[in-house]
Copies of this chain bind each other. A is one copy, B any other.
């Protein structure tokens, strides 16, 4: 099935907002064998929306709009689309009850403007939105098929995954889905990984391979373009196995696997608890570990020792060690990891101390210099790294580096 996407919002035309919804939605649709043949963005103008939907329906018969379903006056997608279907908006008691009960659960009172979100084009199917107040709407009639989704990325994604993708897939006779498989690596540069993989793209033909460098590591994406689902899956499995073989331990997972989740799972399996002591990453390492649901099974807590006084008082790093070696040093990284391991009574611990920039670098210790301390029971190590990039990138890379190095030292 071919369709068109229309994203709505003046901010998209002004360039203040990058249209990430289109890409997200296209990927979800592709996984159901549905192809996006054109994407259009128009401003919050009723006639611009109406014209764009009208033209797209004439070309492909099916359109998904994203945005313009909120409670404020510039949210006019429903009006514009309803005009094409010759159906006025009507107040829908059931949708209003949903909005009310959502507000009750949150202990809040809806504003008067929320009432507009219960106005529904006549004949529309409501796609319930448990993640926000604007439901998705599905309208079919002589002009064609229009699905309206809210523009809040999280709500758009949930509705697309749970409602729109499966419903459209049921309308497709024999879907030949575009299927991708992602392998995630850490602790290795893109060019080094490419050298290791060598001529693997010939070995995996007709699948295609792409390198997707992220801040925290490099993803490798395999894609099958035109095989039936079962065959595509078999080919992807074979190719993934070959890539894992060549990439070795750097490949820590597949798909949306999160490095922190793998670390938590391995710790839990080995019966080890963990704590962290952070200076330059300032809480982000603990934040990454606790982003994993159920992380409390292994993660105890941590100390953000930004000021040197905290390193001494909360982590027992001797003042003369800091004075003698500097706060960014092997000795301090080791003292921090020992300190947090002892204080928190944990088997495993990580420490990070470094210079995230943009200030604070020197000839000897440039911006990006990071020492990572790792302790697993009695084994302890400190590793020196120099990460490139902005303050944000140095911090993200230090977090990923610390997680990867701990993982490499855990029982598999």
Residues of A within 8 A of B (CB): 9-20, 22-30, 35-44, 48, 52, 55, 70-74, 102, 105-108, 110-114, 131-132, 152, 154, 178, 180, 182, 189-192, 194-195, 201, 208-213, 221, 223, 276, 278, 280-291, 293-296, 299-307, 309-310, 313-314, 343-344, 357-359, 366, 368, 386-393, 395
Contacts and interface: CB of A to CB of B under 8 A. Distances in A.
A13 B40 contact: no
B304 A301 contact: yes
A362 to B, nearest CB: 13
Contacts of A357: 293
Nearest to A285: B283
Contacts of A35: 13
Contact of A301 (B39, B314, B391): B314
A283 B293 contact: no
A270 B386 CA distance: 36
A6 B52 CA distance: 14
Contacts of A178: 14
B27 A13 contact: no
Given A16-B210, A24-B15, A111-B192, A105 B366 contact: yes
A195 B307 contact: no
Given A287-B281, A287-B282, A389 B154 contact: yes
Given A14-B178, A37-B43, 11 more contacts: A11-B212, A13-B37, A15-B25, A16-B221, A110-B191, A111-B189, A111-B195, A113-B194, A283-B290, A293-B359, A302-B304
A287 B283 contact: yes
B40 A38 contact: yes
B108 A14 contact: no
A72 B199 CA distance: 11
Contacts of A113: 191, 194-195
Given A283-B283, A291-B282, A14 B180 contact: yes
A115 to B, nearest CB: 10
A391 to B, nearest CB: 6
Contacts of A208: 10, 74
A290 B366 CA distance: 19
A286 B113 CA distance: 36
What 8 A-B pairs come out closest when comparing CB atoms?
A282-B290, A283-B286, A15-B26, A111-B191, A283-B283, A15-B27, A301-B310, A283-B287
Given A302-B283, A307-B296, A70 B19 contact: no
Q: For chain A, what secondary structure do more than half of its interface residues adopt (helix, strand, loop), or is it mixed?
A: mixed
Given A178-B14, A300-B306, A303-B301, A111 B23 contact: no
Nearest to A345: B309
A25 to B, nearest CB: 7
Nearest to A116: B191
B152 A213 contact: yes
Contacts of A26: 13-15
Given A195-B113, A301-B307, A39 B38 contact: no
Contacts of A29: 15
Nearest to A43: B37
